[in-house]
Chain A
Amino acid sequence: MKKILLIIFFSNCSFSELILEITQGTEDPFRVAIIEFQGSNEISKDIHEIIKNNLKRSGEFTIFDNDDLLSTPKSENDIIFNDFKILNIDYLVIGNIVNDKLNITSEYKVFDIKKSKKVRSSTIFGIPNKNRQLAHYISDGIYEEITGIKGIASTKILYVTENEDFKLIVADADGKNEQVLLESSEPIISPSWSPDSKKVAYVSFETGMAKVFVQDIATGKRDVVIKNSSQISSPAWSPDGKFLSLTMYQDGNAEIYILNLQNKNLTRLTNHYAIDTESSWSKKGSKIMFTSGRSGSPQLYEINLRQSNARPKRVTFDGNYNAKGSYLPNNEGIVFVHRADVNFQIAIKYFDENFIRPLTESQMDESPSISPNGNVIVYAIREEGMGLLSGVTLSGAKFKLPASEGAVREPSWSGFLR
């Protein structure tokens, strides 16, 4: 097994550092040459850097720059395929940026070097002054063309920061372009995206007690989902967006309910004197997984919603703490917080295996959230008592997101936005 140890620091004067720490990339990464796009010089440079970082962060690519190449074709007609074949390059990307005051547009082309032919020709109509987004869309097109899997550069991550106060923040998948959704003097926990990624649900303590709110991202309109006198937490949307599973405490103990968002009807899902919380839905909405203390330690259970009166089925057996589970998008397994002895790690369990695979190795890893393509898991870590976000790809690459001000935690990955 080939192990690569690579630590790359990218610095940028206006942002904090993105630390790409690839501890183990794929054995056979795609070798891709990306020529800096033609057109507006400064924007091209910017966009070039963003695309490179996006692709590198996946752990699946080795990127070749202008300086690494024998020739740097400006257009299709300039391409000498042999110059790339000699370097064992698999794919070549060229493109241009057209920027006037009203529009920004990029055209790019992807060439398969071995076949000496063009495999993709794309045009992206961007939004002026939103160059990062344009770069993310280009990255996703390149990623999808080469790997056959949808890219996640244009997706978003939601998280909570604590500094002077608490903030719920939405940022690009690379941790930049932070925008504040909510500021509060009281804690905010458990943010979660609606399936169409237009709304978020979260728990806010602003009324003096945990309450679940739903907020529209673009308009800022927000509401408490259930108005009663007891605390409510742990919201999770059903895949069709019609239901919200919640933990309610009106029975004096944490129990999971399903709220119909249209008629506000509540259906009780669990009934046990132990703690039941942290519900999450399978991608087709047929199962709900949750954390329960009913065996004497926190373990994961699931309930089949298609059966009437289905009994919870225990899904984790190894370790003394297994909690906050979520399903992989293809339903091949689950990702969760796992403790074998003293350390909390992020772990994965595939349904066709009877053992747990730890993915991380520090002491206090928590809040795993899976990218919509299922390839990357973002989670919260502690470093010298400080909260930071980190990511691990299923191909083995690890990275840290740029430190925002204060402690960062509770990441939640959006769905696909493009």
Chain B
Amino acid sequence: MFIFKNKINFLIVVIFLSSCSSMNITEENVYSDNVKTVKASSSMPENINLDSMAIFANATVYFEFDKSSLTSKSIQTLKSAVDALNENTSIKVTLSGHADERGTREYNLALGQRRAESVSDYLVLNGINKSRITVKSFGEEKPLAYGQDESSYAKNRRVEIN
């Protein structure tokens, strides 16, 4: 098992016997492909601020495909979020952007971020201090609906405010 474990060199000997008739003679060692398994300890922040949970429970705004601009419906939702934030100045919010599964994962991560930034811009424009806002994206990695249809996609293109 351990004989070749740390052998880094391998050897290929190629001998050309003559110019008109050549033959390859090779020798090589197989590398070890040992793998160490690691378990990631998740430090996902828990939502412990029950006050903010109560006020913002499931406050979510939705977006068009490949778009990060706010719709008039989103703005209605955000207006009440601004009011709540103004009433409770101790509350901080996290804006988590999401995308539907169409398109590449990294592009969708960036798209989710843009959506969360749009919401952040709106809040800041309406007087909320930027230090109270955390912006992040989960891209297409945390869908709410698993179907492969427009109604599922529409549910997944969102920013969650909590």
Contacts and interface: CB of A to CB of B under 8 A. Distances in A.
B136 A278 contact: no
Nearest to A187: B141
Nearest to A218: B34
Interface string A237-257: 000000000010100111000
Given A275-B114, A385-B146, A127 B42 contact: no
A395 interface: no
Given A186-B42, A385-B146, A234 B24 contact: no
Contact of B30 (A137, A337, A367): A137
Contact of A275 (B27, B35, B111): B111
Interface residues of B, number: 52
Contact of A220 (B36, B41, B111): B36
B54 interface: no
A36 interface: no
B127 to A, nearest CB: 19
A324 B109 CA distance: 13
A40 interface: no
Given A120-B24, A277-B106, A222 B38 contact: yes
Interface in A143-189: 145, 156, 170, 177, 179-187, 189
B137 A231 contact: yes
A396 interface: no
A133 B113 CA distance: 43
Contact of B113 (A119, A137, A249, A366): A249
A382 B140 CA distance: 15
Interface string B83-103: 000000000000000000111
B138 A205 contact: yes
Given A298-B107, A323-B103, A125 B23 contact: no
B30 A219 contact: no
Nearest to B11: A125
A370 to B, nearest CB: 16
A110 to B, nearest CB: 8
B21 A117 contact: yes
A144 B31 CA distance: 18
Contacts of B136: 208-210, 231
Contact of A418 (B31, B40, B45, B110): B31
B28 A125 contact: yes
B114 A141 contact: no
A123 B107 contact: no
Q: Which of B40, B43, B111 has the most CB of A within 10 A?
A: B40
A133 B103 CA distance: 36
A77 B43 CA distance: 66
B141 A205 contact: yes
A218 B36 contact: yes
Contacts of B42: 184-186, 206
A141 B13 CA distance: 13
B131 to A, nearest CB: 12
Nearest to A136: B30
A179 B37 contact: yes
A180 B35 contact: yes
A119 B136 CA distance: 59
B110 A275 contact: yes
Contacts of A189: 105-106, 109, 139, 141
A298 B35 contact: no
Q: Which of B1, B22, B30, B39 has the most CB of A within 10 A?
A: B30
Contacts of A119: 22-24
A418 B31 CA distance: 7
Contact of A254 (B4, B22, B38, B113): B113
B101 to A, nearest CB: 8
Nearest to B41: A206
A211 B29 CA distance: 37
A380 to B, nearest CB: 10
20 contacts: A121-B24, A124-B27, A125-B27, A125-B28, A127-B3, A130-B33, A133-B30, A137-B30, A182-B40, A183-B37, A184-B39, A205-B138, A218-B35, A233-B109, A234-B106, A234-B109, A247-B106, A254-B109, A291-B107, A298-B104
Given A102-B3, A220-B38, 9 more contacts: A120-B24, A181-B38, A186-B40, A208-B43, A208-B44, A208-B136, A247-B109, A277-B107, A364-B101
Interface of A: 102-103, 117-130, 133-134, 137, 141, 145, 156, 170, 177, 179-187, 189-190, 203-210, 215-220, 222, 231, 233-234, 247, 249, 252-254, 275-278, 291, 293, 297-298, 321, 323-324, 337, 344, 364, 366-367, 382, 385, 410, 417-418
CB-based closest 4 A-B pairs: A220-B36, A254-B110, A184-B40, A187-B141
